[in-house]
Amino acid sequence: MSGLFGTLDISGSGIGAAQAWLDTISGNIANMDDTGPTDEAAYGAQAPVLVPDASTGQVGDGVTVAAVVEGDTTGTVEYDPTSPEADAQGDVRVPDIQLGAQMVNMIQAQTDYQANTSALADAKTAYQSALTLGT
């Protein structure tokens, strides 16, 4: 990472990646109760693909979100004859998203975010303490 204060940019990329992760988790939880016809694909849990940022080809370039991949769209078939989307057997297709797993992921993403902000704050303190050299 070029620039005088590259560490801040690196931590910023980590914050952005954690934010993207949190966004996908929020989307998964929001779509957890989706229903659809059994002949269509269900909502697949989304997750960001985080890779090292190779824009400058140097070590310590931070992280970037390469893509957002969609998980299994098979879902599960539930019996819900009151749903307007139910088929002749009264079945609907719902996403296979476990709230517990999503919440655990959210804790990880939150910790990820906090770790990056902590690294950023420490880097800023270190830069400021370097300015006091010789005084």
Q: Please give the residue ranges that form the binding site for another protein (CB under 8 A).
A: 3-5, 8-9, 11-12, 15-16, 19, 120, 124, 127-128, 131, 134
DSSP of the chain, one letter per residue?
--STTHHHHHHHHHHHHHHHHHHHHHHHHHTTT--B-TTSPPPPPEEEEEEE--SS--S---EEEEEEEE-----EEEE-TTSTT--TTSEEEE----HHHHHHHHHHHHHHHHHHHHHHHHHHHHHHHHHTTT-
CB of 122 to another protein, least distance (A): 12
Kindly tell me which of 82 and 128 has the beta carbon lying closer to another protein.
Answer: 128
Rank residues 5 and 79 by Cβ distance to another protein and give the closer one.
Answer: 5
- Minimum CB separation from another protein for residue 7, in Å? 10
**Pair 92, 38: CB distance under 8 Å:** yes
CB of 77 to another protein, least distance (A): 40
Question: With respect to another protein, which residue has the nearer C-beta, 23 or 34?
Answer: 23
Q: Which is nearer to another protein, 99 or 126 (CB)?
A: 126
Q: Which is nearer to another protein, 13 or 43 (CB)?
A: 13
Nearest distance, CB of residue 111 and another protein, angstroms: 16
Q: 65: closest CA among 28, 112, 107?
A: 112
CB of 15 to another protein, least distance (A): 5
